[in-house]
Chains A and B, each alone.
Chain A
Amino acid sequence: MRGGKLPGRIAVTCIIACAVMITCLGGCSGNKSDVITLRVSNWEEYIDEGDWGEDELIELDDGTEIIGRNNLINDFEDWYLETYGVQVKVEYSTFGTNEDLYNQLTIGDVYDVVCPSEYMIMKLMREGMLVPYSSDFRNAYDENNYYENGVSPYIRSVFDDLSIEGEPLSKYAAGYMWGTLGFVYNPDEVTKEEASHWNILLNRDYYRRITIKDSVRDAFFAAAGVHFYDEITSDEFINSPDYHERLSQIINSTDVDTVNSIEDILANAKDNVYSFETDSGKADMVTGKVVANEQWSGDAVYTLDQAEEDGVELCYAVPQECTNLWFDGWVMLKSGIEQDTRKQHVAEAFVNYLSKPENVVRNMYYIGYTSVISGGDSDTVFDYLNWCYAAEDEEEAEDEETAADASEDDPQEEETHEEDAELVEYSEIGYFFEADTDEANKKYSVITTENQLDRQLFAQYPPMSVLDRAVVMACFDDESNERINRSWTNVRCFDLNSLFGSKRKYE
């Protein structure tokens, strides 16, 4: 009955043939009609996905109302059609770590626009995988160029100063979110002073009660802060004219001796900390299992918000020695864009749309991270900052809604109503919106409750004094990377020698 097999085979062949035809038809029709497909890959939960409740409406002082009803991606498709008359379809996907993204790209996954962190941008630049932004994108006279018109002058200078093989980062990357690296801590258990030093990781008083990030780079940065403590905190060093460059150089050193010392520090830290955590830190802070937790500022804001909902007040501190200035940015990939200028225009428009002040606010509200956009001529971002942190509690605001609508009073007048809470003027963030001058600082000052200076406001918009000691962690060369990765494995692997008595010494 061999022949009996035939119908089955024919059936299978038919099904496969049909499937192939359907996919082909789908692909063909896509090409014929005028739809441009933009393949975007971004971090998980790193864009406003809409669906806000009506009570989440953000009403700014100048009367602007912002709410995320739809997914920002769909809004972009509509906006592009409306503005440029071309139908765009965004294929949106997400990645978990920079390394995952890189692995996907090397396997052959194709994206047009991706949003890696600073060191991965530098790596992709070095490997020649990126397309530079066009001159149209830089044209400040085009009102749709929200990025060029809205990016913070501080971030712009950071992007201009970083260079890979002679080319500035700003040529290939447009920023998205940025921040610092520090500790979220419980003020009932840990003093601000203690949380302001990287060596809290080795502090025996907090044996098994502090977490460190389970990531080579973040762990190394912290350990470098411990290792170079004496060198980088001396008055002479801090007051030297090229302090910032030297700090960056020292923290980014990867010579054999440094890496070995850092390995020892991390090995000791491993014996002292609660865990190397990936995302359990936030929950453990709230339950009190952990009293301090190495975090990026963006996650810190989220943790603080969550803890607040559970009635726990946490704080955020940036170590005195140094901190890691990190950012994520949009880059266009050669493998995806393929010199298709129409597609590149869509990609650049996508970045611009995300940089539109209203959308920046939507993203910031949704994600909790700080955008690199300060808004330029538009005050929307600063108004949002005021909306978040200006001292006026919400119930009162609702009561006075009608009154507030009518008058465009300046924030200081409002403050006179406040009595019990201790209020302070936070006027150190002019650098972000305009320039690091007294005038700008005054213009962009926020009257807020005192505790905000250790909390969300501080985490989102650190003062210039913090950024003075903030350095971008370099994208190391292959040799250094190998050395660092090997020593990281050494830290994490069981040391057979410890069985034979030669245990690592503490401190």
Chain B
Amino acid sequence: MKRSWFDRKQLAFPYFIYLILFVVMPLLVVLYYGFTDEEGNISFTNFVLFFTNGRTMGTLVYSLVIAVFVTVICLILAYPVAYILAKGRYARRHSFLMVFVLPMWINFTLRITALKEILTLIEGNLAYYPFVNTVICMVYDFLPFMIMPLFNALTKLDKSMIEAGHDLGATFPQVMLKIVLPLSIPGIVSGITMVFLPAMTNYVVLDMVYNSTYIMGSLIGSYFNAYDWNNGSIISAILLMFIGLFTIITDKIMTKEEA
């Protein structure tokens, strides 16, 4: 069937170049700096320092707490919306979906600037509740990223499964917990990956709502500002390892679910 003068694999060529230049190469540079000292000798002190320095761990915990709050709230808010949109009898559910995803079309700094004014009105002074404001703004920012994958997973869900559950006498909560929820796990997982990791590093939001406590992203930036490329790189590398670990674990869970 190879009629054209190139085969399909070549279509991936532009992305392959992109991958080498902008993903693999920088990653190698990060790893190089992460595991060398100022003189360029191989060293693990940066790596050890990450886990022994109380403040770095404090930042990690703080970022994790923010990310957990943001992800959980996003999930709680997004799930019912996605379910209703996917399973309800709306003639134009895709248009409805657009309404929820529409904010994504506006630049997020602009949206947060507007949100800041609203929060100032409600709270009186934005700086009183930096943590709460950070979570609110991040939820606002990341919600569409949670709705989309959930919506996709739930639309694909076979309606006859739910009907079968009802026919066999399951109550609505039972159907939700035992049928809908397990079947939508792929959607939940991809939603979490879309929200959790950015929430750990997106320090622009913190800057904008005047939260002066560092999260992982700002900590990395501060090291680079102090010309400490080695320690900055090791933090990036360790975060990357976390991400890798997270992906592997979720992958395991998903394959187990499917089996």
Contact = CB atoms under 8 A, between A and B. Distances in A.
Interface of A: 1, 4-5, 7-8, 97, 99, 102-103, 106, 208-209, 214, 216, 270, 273-278, 280, 289, 481-482, 485, 488-490, 492-497
Nearest to B211: A275
Given A5-B6, A8-B5, A496-B61, A99 B125 contact: no
Given A1-B5, A8-B5, A289-B120, A493 B219 contact: yes
B116 to A, nearest CB: 9
A494 B214 contact: yes
Interface string B1-34: 0101111001000000000000000000000000
B169 interface: no
Nearest to A97: B225
A208 B210 CA distance: 10
A277 B207 CA distance: 8
Contacts of B2: 1
A208 B6 contact: no
A7 to B, nearest CB: 7
A209 B228 CA distance: 33
Contacts of A276: 212
A208 B207 contact: no
A289 B214 CA distance: 23
Determine the main DSSP class of B at the interface with A. helix
Contacts of A482: 226
Interface in B37-80: 54-59, 61-62
B212 A493 contact: no
Contact of A493 (B10, B55, B226): B55
B219 A489 contact: yes
A5 B10 contact: yes
Contacts of B126: 274, 289
B213 A493 contact: yes
Contact of A492 (B6, B120, B222, B227): B222
Contacts of A4: 4-6
Interface in B206-245: 207, 210, 212-214, 218-219, 222, 224-228
A494 B222 contact: no
Contact of A489 (B55, B62, B224): B55
B127 interface: yes
B128 A489 contact: no
Contacts of B218: 492
B5 A493 contact: no
Contacts of A208: 125, 127-128
B69 to A, nearest CB: 14
Interface in B155-175: none
Contacts of B54: 495-497
Among A280, A482, A489, residue most surrounded by chain B Cβ atoms (within 10 Å): A489
B227 to A, nearest CB: 7
A102 B214 contact: no
B56 A493 contact: yes
A502 to B, nearest CB: 12
B81 to A, nearest CB: 32
Nearest to B126: A289
Given A208-B128, A485-B226, A492-B212, A7 B58 contact: no
B123 to A, nearest CB: 10
A99 B55 contact: no
Contact of B58 (A278, A289, A493): A493
Contacts of A216: 226
B194 to A, nearest CB: 25
Interface in B80-116: none
B224 A103 contact: yes
Given A277-B210, A489-B214, A494-B59, A289 B125 contact: yes
Nearest to A488: B222
Given A493-B59, A496-B54, 14 more contacts: A4-B6, A99-B224, A208-B125, A209-B127, A214-B212, A216-B226, A273-B127, A274-B126, A275-B210, A289-B120, A492-B218, A494-B61, A496-B61, A497-B54
A493 B63 CA distance: 10
Contacts of A277: 210
B55 A490 contact: yes
Contacts of A7: 5
A489 B5 CA distance: 58
B55 A495 contact: yes
Contacts of B6: 4-5, 8
A209 B212 contact: no
Nearest to A481: B226
A5 B5 contact: yes
25 contacts: A1-B2, A1-B5, A1-B7, A4-B5, A4-B6, A5-B5, A5-B10, A8-B5, A8-B6, A99-B226, A102-B227, A208-B125, A273-B127, A280-B210, A485-B222, A488-B222, A489-B55, A489-B214, A492-B214, A493-B55, A493-B62, A494-B58, A494-B59, A494-B62, A495-B54
Nearest to A485: B226
Contacts of B222: 485, 488-489, 492
The 6 lowest CB-CB distance pairs between A and B, nearest first, are: A275-B210, A494-B62, A4-B5, A493-B55, A208-B127, A494-B58
A70 B30 CA distance: 44
A275 B134 CA distance: 13
Nearest to B124: A208
Contacts of A273: 127, 212
| Chain A CB within 10 A, most for which of B54, B62, B226, B228 | B226
B124 to A, nearest CB: 10
A417 B117 CA distance: 46
A275 B227 contact: no
Contacts of B228: 485
Given A481-B226, A489-B219, A496 B58 contact: yes
B250 to A, nearest CB: 27
A190 to B, nearest CB: 16
B232 to A, nearest CB: 11
A5 B11 CA distance: 12
B224 A275 contact: no
B10 A274 contact: no
B63 to A, nearest CB: 9
Contacts of A492: 212-214, 218-219, 222
Given A209-B125, A489-B222, A492-B212, A103 B56 contact: no
A46 B240 CA distance: 38
A408 to B, nearest CB: 51
A401 B210 CA distance: 49
Nearest to B213: A494
Contacts of A1: 2, 5, 7
B5 A495 contact: no
Contacts of A496: 54-55, 57-58, 61
Contacts of B128: 208
